Chain A
């Protein structure tokens, strides 16, 4: 079954219902499916065939939804890539890894990716405005046919290409409906990159149920209020931004009247922030823990709040999770180890993975790099791993941050780690050995330029020397502990 089949049925049944609402623009189901068929027809004319990989470079909901559905319409495989300044190499590497044949984009005309597999560049706007004598019919697909490649920072911060079939994505989208019921009256506001698989699942399920997907168009709170959003999908960082805004605006002294669920994914949310979000935005918040590879694993929702809101949530009824040792052997209940996950809706594997025995996907399980304990087989407790920094949902390998910090020759050694501020929000702390002094401002600028504003260091600690093991490796945990003992590393109260 093709992912778009259910949406196509909706369009026949209720052609005039709104499918997309972006600012003042509404697109009905029949218009959406017409646009999807047009873009698909244009792509077919350019040579796109079944199983071809098509990269979509279109920031924004409209382009992502129409682009992804049009690619599926042809039985081809979509992958969302992001073009950012200075990341040309990463983009080319991702395109090569996924064997991208076509690029659908709304970038400038001269846009180019340095990957030999690419055969043609197609402008989304031209495909949409093209005139076609006959529109191509939807290609039926098997459940095992690929629908999507999702780029994941994975467990190490190095990008990986995750394979998802039509069957798995349909099941993943459907299973979220049992958790967060959805129907034709729903308005889903997506405040995350529309190309992220996490977002794709939620906009797909909304369209499968006959609801409308709402784009934030700038201010999420304004959009939620104006378009009477019933479901809001957000990262912790966006939720915190919304909270700051709500606190300074009398209209948000009470939760949004139509919002049934505020769904937050990416990382844990500190308990004081959870409480404030319930007061100002939505009494019903759900914090998802999952990975690109497995989908939703656990949720902190009302059932969990009463028991332990500091946990990472209750395991979903379709998910199996076990804590294992370094060799992959299950550990006794309550012990800490690496989390392995199995679910009928998880990804099919990585692209380009050669050594099956070393793959994170083996024996039907996905071996994550998250260290956790599971309490009574039910509640998951994640423990920060130290070498992946998760700042409000944006995950970067600590080693990559350290490499950027260390670009200044004055930096002899450095350790980057995350620590909660007085709001409970994880912030970047950088410990540096720099006996000849350091340009702190330049260091901050490098970090934000490379990884975004969440990675602006909240504190830069200059120390005399780091402890090392006999092999010469920095004892990171000891560095972090020592700095912690000096008191609040952020110097905030």
Chain B
């Protein structure tokens, strides 16, 4: 089934209800479908056919959703590209993925010259030019609708193939943990191109709810459009938090907000508490990957019982913890995570790494799974090697973060005066930090060779999805330690 089909059905049931809200612009379901059909007609007129890859440069919500659905409407494959500061790496992906067309929400003068394309079309042209209407393309369940690019925190970006059925299941299954109906108003505080955000906007649109863009700012959109649900990363949630703290309100940030969902990277117990207090008491922390969709959710009950837990494994997903030899480990044992879900991506095109094998995806993440299904994810298998003593950085970070002043932290090593590795705790703690207590906690937990030097940073660099860029933190920490050495 085409991912556009359930939205088209919603347009029949509720043509005049709002679908997309961005600033002062509201698109109803019938507006949405009229535009999608028009984009489809123009793409078809321009020669776009089933399975063609169409790059999309559209950072804003409305343009991105319209172009994504327009491309799917004709059975073609969308490839979101972030051409921010003429990022050559992104532009290269257009060729790597074999895109033959480009669509964008920039001005009519926008053009990429560095790549060979059969056509470049603006959103304005696609929605305003009259073209003979075409029917929505019928697609088989396994046909690809989207190429996502992997986050690239660990190296080169890779395209990930997602089918129409996989994408739709990811959206519908997300709706199980985050139920939506036609009264739902979901604010997205991060870019609409990621799988994380797409599964949420697709969930809202299949359920007949409204999707709200963070325009002009997340806070203004939240209040003006009475959002009932906010999707955030730790960065966007923390920006909202700062405003709330400046306002000094005792009550949560909005009276209409029912739930806030934060995902992208781990959130320290201190930040969890602040989010619950100032943003929304009903906080959900989510964990997943572009290759797998949603895998675990930590609700407020779990956050309070075990603030270091990543979440409860969702009912439709399977996770196996495997050892280096590929053997499946038991409950509580630490190893690499292997995942199977109905919404699993089709794979990396042409990839022979074996990450997708026998219906499973071998993740780069490591962690443990308890008998009751509580998942603890601890880093990406990095090990801090302290002169023979091996420590899991995730474990060290959970000890560092036990202080409610610690908003973010990274455990790392730097070469000491004699070249031996020295443990360092890089910490973001704007309210001040009891460094001595931190050292005592680490001493008690790991012994005397594992007492870290503490580096306080104003903030950490993050990627688009909200993940901490550990290598950059490492560089910042090394720089901060230079005068001391």
Which residues of A pack against B, CB within 8 Å? 1, 6, 9, 12-13, 143, 167, 170-171, 174-175, 177-178, 181, 208-209, 303-304, 307, 314-315, 317-320, 342, 344, 364, 375-379
Contact = CB atoms under 8 A, between A and B. Distances in A.
B110 interface: no
Q: Which of A181, A304, A317, A318 has the most chain B CB atoms inside 10 A of its CB?
A: A317
B342 to A, nearest CB: 6
Contacts of A1: 318, 340
Given A317-B206, A318-B168, A318-B169, A170 B5 contact: no
Interface string B272-315: 00000000000000000000000000000000000000000101
B342 A317 contact: no
A375 B141 CA distance: 23
B379 interface: no
Q: Which of A208, A307, A314, A378 has the most chain B CB atoms inside 10 A of its CB?
A: A378
Nearest to B182: A303
Q: What is the interface of chain A mostly: helix, strand, loop, or mixed?
A: mixed
A167 B9 contact: no
Interface in B1-48: 1, 5-6, 8-9, 12-14
Given A12-B372, A174-B316, A317 B9 contact: yes
Interface string B199-220: 0000000111000000000000
Contacts of B340: 1, 143
B112 interface: no
A401 to B, nearest CB: 37
Contacts of B371: 9, 12
A303 B169 contact: no
A181 B183 CA distance: 14
A379 B10 CA distance: 11
A46 B5 CA distance: 51
Given A175-B172, A303-B14, A342-B1, A377 B9 contact: yes
A342 B138 CA distance: 13
B261 to A, nearest CB: 16
Contacts of A304: 13
Contact of B176 (A178, A315, A364, A375): A178
A174 B179 CA distance: 12
B13 A377 contact: no
Given A1-B318, A170-B316, A178-B179, A315 B9 contact: yes
Contact of A344 (B165, B208, B313): B165
B13 A314 contact: yes
B60 interface: no
B420 to A, nearest CB: 44
Contact of A376 (B1, B12, B168, B208): B12
9 contacts: A171-B342, A174-B176, A174-B316, A181-B179, A319-B1, A364-B140, A364-B141, A375-B12, A377-B8
Interface size class of B (residues with CB under 8 A): 20 to 34
Contacts of A143: 340, 359
Contacts of B206: 317
Given A13-B372, A174-B316, A178-B175, A344 B342 contact: yes
Given A6-B315, A170-B316, A364-B141, A318 B12 contact: no
B141 A170 contact: no
Contacts of B168: 317-318
Nearest to B166: A344
B373 interface: yes
Given A170-B315, A303-B14, 20 more contacts: A6-B373, A170-B316, A171-B169, A171-B342, A175-B173, A178-B179, A178-B207, A209-B315, A314-B13, A315-B9, A317-B207, A318-B168, A318-B172, A319-B1, A320-B1, A342-B1, A344-B342, A377-B8, A377-B9, A379-B12
A334 B52 CA distance: 31
B208 A303 contact: yes
A478 to B, nearest CB: 36
A174 B373 CA distance: 17
A344 B141 contact: yes
B199 to A, nearest CB: 13
A344 B342 CA distance: 9
Contacts of A317: 6, 9, 168, 172, 206-207
A304 B13 CA distance: 7
Contact of A378 (B9, B140, B169, B176): B9
Nearest to A321: B1
A363 B372 CA distance: 40
B121 to A, nearest CB: 27
A304 to B, nearest CB: 7
A314 B1 contact: no
A462 to B, nearest CB: 47
A260 to B, nearest CB: 12
A106 B472 CA distance: 67
A378 B13 contact: yes
B149 to A, nearest CB: 26
A181 B316 CA distance: 15
Nearest to B315: A6
Contacts of B315: 6, 170, 174, 208-209
Contacts of A376: 9, 12
B172 A307 contact: no
A376 B11 CA distance: 10
Given A317-B9, A377-B8, A13 B373 contact: yes
Contacts of A181: 179
B176 A307 contact: no
Interface in B118-152: 140-141
Nearest to B369: A9
A135 to B, nearest CB: 15
Interface string B431-461: 0000000000000000000000000000000
Given A314-B13, A364-B141, A344 B169 contact: yes
Contacts of A303: 13-14, 182, 208
Contacts of B175: 178
Contacts of B359: 143
Contacts of A171: 169, 316, 342
Interface in B46-73: none
Contacts of A208: 315
Contacts of B5: 320, 377
A315 to B, nearest CB: 6
A378 B12 contact: yes
A304 B10 CA distance: 11
Contacts of A319: 1
Q: Which of A9, A377, A379 has the most chain B CB atoms inside 10 A of its CB?
A: A9
Contacts of B1: 318-320, 342
A178 B372 contact: no
Given A171-B316, A304-B13, A307-B13, A9 B173 contact: no
Nearest to A173: B315
A203 B208 CA distance: 27
A69 to B, nearest CB: 15
Nearest to B302: A13
Contacts of B208: 303
Contacts of B372: 9, 12-13
Interface in B164-188: 165, 168-169, 172-173, 175-176, 179, 182
A319 B6 CA distance: 9
Name the 9 nearest CB pairs between A and B, nearest first: A317-B6, A9-B373, A12-B372, A13-B372, A378-B12, A378-B9, A178-B175, A181-B179, A317-B206
Contacts of B313: 9
Contacts of A342: 1, 141
B216 to A, nearest CB: 32
Q: Which of A181, A209, A304 has the most chain B CB atoms inside 10 A of its CB?
A: A181
Contact of A377 (B12, B207, B318): B12
Interface string B348-372: 0000000000010000000000011
Contacts of A378: 8-9, 12-13
A344 B141 CA distance: 8
A178 B172 contact: yes
Nearest to A7: B315
